Amino acid sequence: MTTASAFPQDFLWGVATAGHQVEGNNVNSDTWFLEHLPGTMFSEPSGDAVDHYHRYREDIALIASLGFTSYRFSFEWARIEPEEGHFSVAELNHYRRVLEACHEHGLTPVVTFHHFTSPRWLLAVGGWEGTRTAELFARYCDRLMAHLGDLIGVACTLNEPNLPWLLESFGIGGVAPEERGSVPVWAAAAERLGVDASTVAPFQFCSTEAGFNVKLAAHRAATAVIKARRPELPVGWTLANSDIQFIDGGRELADRVRRDVNERFLEASRGDDFVGIQTYGRTVYGPDGHAPAPEGAETNQMGEEIYPQALEATIREAARIAGIPVIVTENGLATEDDSQRVEYLRAAVDCVAACLADGIDVRGYIAWTAFDNYEWVFGYRPKFGLIAVDRATQERTPKESARWLGNVARTNAMIVQAADATA
């Protein structure tokens, strides 16, 4: 017997990218700067990436041809404002052409105003702990809206402002300001910027209370300027929300991490038009911290348990706490085995269908990621892409996962094969 899980008529089906991960040569950004420092945490530099900066037209046409109805991408602040107060009209026009290409191919542009990377100059004035950062970010967003706002379909202010607190629970980052000078990469950054190491606070690695306050202020200031230009434009931020669980002895830690990473950011989302949920699996805590994947469990390229069911838990948590519509703005699997990815996506989409069936307002599912790309500190090894890229030739090759999810998008329904009870 065959059944179909139908989705709302205006449901967004898409794939996502981030500028630094695909465009290439984002030389004015703080991330490019960090990639090339002694003691860097990045396994390799981003370099040319997949040259999406020049190939966006054919890339957008390819995404649309697969059946998708939306494309999530980001504007690069470091390109648009390479020096404080200097805005590049040429770069603004570049992103206008990207937006126009989306509309030409029937894709709703879901645009992230800040996806981890900032201009290098921002790092020199306090980064994401700086007292001026919220105001500077709002000014940048206002300039974007003045030049590009009429073409944006959905606006995401900040990508994963809560990620540093999740990483901190794994023992990654979380260096107190007074201790940064003893860490080689932060000491090297401070020396080259001519500042005290205690003030070096990049977005991805900033997990202080000052960082929380600055990010929240930046989100709210950005929302205000975006709404001032286009009151009807849906605005929210996107959160890295893991399904946080525990085993014996781990409840206290799990509760603390859930509060720091998920709940307080969802509470801060109340009043927004939507919240973007970005989930890849579950995080399980035991008495000694993060618990390893269960014995015999399938794992991804980073050694993490493959657990697509996490998405249903985080959607339900977001709807319960934030009380606003949800868009799944990232979800995917790092694997060389694309058949494994298809099964992961199938299970994840089924999670979305289950939430919709229970009356939860989910407005889209956007997979991470369109292309095999630069995965930050992990470099180019993890393969999340639905489209393979030969980086020697930059040739794009859609995988079966792209065709499978694209067909779901084209039909706006997932076909489910059920066992025949009479067999």
Q: Which residues pair with 327 in a beta bridge?
A: 276
Kindly list the domain boundaries of the chain, sorted by start residue.
Answer: 2-417
SS3 108: strand
Q: How far apart are CA 262 and CA 256, in angstroms?
A: 10
Half-sphere exposure of 3 (CA within 13 A, CB side): 6
Residue 265's pLDDT is what? 98
SS3 62: helix
Contacts of 347 (CB under 8 A, 6+ apart): 308, 309
With b for 16 or more beta-carbon neighbours within 10 A and e for fewer, the 226-261 pattern comes to beebeeebbbbbbbbbbbbbbeeebeebbeebbebb
Give me the active site residues, please.
Answer: 160
Residue 140's pLDDT is what? 99
2-417: CATH superfamily: Glycosidases (3.20.20.80)
Residue 39's pLDDT is what? 95
**DSSP assignment of 251-262, as one string?**
HHHHHHHIIIII
Reported as a single tens digit per residue, the pLDDT across 161-179 is: 999 999 988 888 889 999 9
pLDDT < 50 positions in the chain: 1, 419-423
Q: Residue 97 has which token pair? A: 């052409």
As a three-state string, the secondary structure of 359-404 is CCCEEEEEEECCECCCCHHHCCCCCCCCEEEECCCCEEEECHHHHH
Residue 172's pLDDT is what? 81
* 301, 381 contact by CB (below 8 A): yes
Reported as a single tens digit per residue, the pLDDT across 276-291 is: 999 999 999 999 999 9
Alpha helices, DSSP H only, in 131-183?
Answer: 133-148, 163-169
